[in-house]
Amino acid sequence: MDERPRAVLTPCTGVCTLDEHGTCHGCLRSLAEIGGWLQMSEAQRQWLMDVELPAREAARG
Q: Is 2 contained in some domain?
A: no
Q: Is 25 contained in some domain?
A: no
Per-residue model confidence as pLDDT tens digits over 1-19: 667 767 778 999 999 999 9
Do residues 24 and 14 make contact, with C-beta atoms less than 8 angstroms apart? no
Which residue range forms the structural domain that includes residue 50?
31-60
Do residues 24 and 34 make contact, with C-beta atoms less than 8 angstroms apart? yes
pLDDT at 21: 92
Could you give the maximum distance between any two Cα atoms of the chain, in Å? 46
Q: Is 55 contained in some domain?
A: yes
Q: Is 16 contained in some domain?
A: no
Cα angle for residues 15, 29, 36 (degrees, 5° grid): 110
Per-residue model confidence as pLDDT tens digits over 35-53: 999 999 999 999 999 999 9
Overall average pLDDT of the 21-44 stretch = 95
Do residues 40 and 32 make contact, with C-beta atoms less than 8 angstroms apart? no
pLDDT at 61: 80
